[in-house]
Amino acid sequence: MTRTALLAAPELHVDLDALGANARTFRSRSRGLLAVVKADAFGHGDVAAHLLRHGADWLGTTSLDEAVALRERTGARTLAWLASPAADFDPAVAAGVDVAVPSVDHLRAVVAAARATGTRARVHLHVDLGIARDGAPRAAWRELVTLAGGLAHLGVVEAVGVMGHLSHAAHPDDPHNRTERMLFDNAVRTAMRRGFVPQVRHVAASAAALRGVGTDCELVRVGAGLYGIDPAGGDGLEPVIALTAPAVVVRDVAAGTGVGYDHAWVAERGTRLATLPVGYADGIPRVASGRAEVLVRGRRARVVGAISMDQIVVDVGDAGVEPGEAITLVGTEPGAPTLGEWAGWSGTIAHDVVTHLGARWRRSFTGGSACA
């Protein structure tokens, strides 16, 4: 955008060329790429088909409903890995969605769906390697794989995969990686001895895939990295999104003018203030109040006062900003704030920032088609 560009509404711009480049980067470092498109592709919108065109072999999401929709829309192999054993697995099994199974209760629910739909269920057994989150605890693994192996022999389920998640993959030299990879390999061997012989193994997410931890397996599961976020803070990926918003109100104020609720900021000098129509309802973290910065006509300007639900105020100084002028909150041009900086101002991670960007941002795409 030029200095005089006008913007009608807040805009979330997705650079599909950058997204494709990141997908190709991960595909070149792996034997197979599962592109994670959960949470509306980390807030980026309908980009599944674009990822498939640029190296993704599979798609992945947590929700069964999301997985069914992706499978029906793209025809791609699609994995869903976070469902209650009380969930309705029938539509997913009938659609050929791959499902992660972290317990005997889950396996029984999937088998019931297979029998109800007359479809062999595609199963990935999920083992907990020490993250104590999802996945079967080691003490329960033998029972799970024994039952799954028997069902695979009977043709009720198809033994597609064994999966796990590393707890310290952002730090490749951490001894947890070696221990957890050993546990994973042992879990695979145990499954195979009991008749569950997987076609694919996958243990690496974005950080692991970037650092070569677990990339010898048949798949890597990459989410954040596709969208330009390296969980370990590296800079080898292309930033994918930009956020811009118009100055809807511009005013010149005198020294001593208070801004926002409780006058969290008071002008020390005469200055110009610009109000932008975005706030914490749009994913702008309220805890970044008083620390966040934006890019105004090529230079940084501070967000002042408390971030409100629908608006923020920027001290643009002598920049000469006019109503309607586009201001960059996140961008790729020199000097523009990054998602990582917003995460730092907010005391969180970039994933948290980007996935909270709401529906009120107008999405725009360049570099290709995002239609699946």
CB distance 64 to 87 below 8 Å: yes
- Active-site positions read 38, 261
Task: Look up residue 152 and give its two tokens.
Answer: 């695979």
Model-level pTM?
Answer: 0.92
Checking DSSP bridges between strand 241-246 and strand 11-15, what pairing results, if any? antiparallel
Angle CA(259)–CA(263)–CA(266) in degrees, nearest 5?
65
Q: How far is Cα 151 from Cα 143, in angstroms, rounded to an integer?
A: 13
Task: Look up residue 126 and give its two tokens.
Answer: 């999920």
pLDDT tens per residue across all 372 residues of the chain? 444 578 899 999 999 999 999 999 999 999 999 999 999 999 999 999 999 999 999 999 999 999 999 999 999 999 999 999 999 999 999 999 999 999 999 999 999 999 999 999 999 999 999 998 889 999 999 999 999 999 999 999 999 999 999 998 888 888 998 999 999 999 999 999 999 999 999 999 999 999 888 899 999 999 999 999 988 777 789 999 999 999 999 999 999 999 999 999 999 999 999 999 999 999 999 999 999 999 999 999 999 999 999 999 999 999 889 999 999 999 989 999 999 999 999 999 999 999 999 899 999 999 875 444
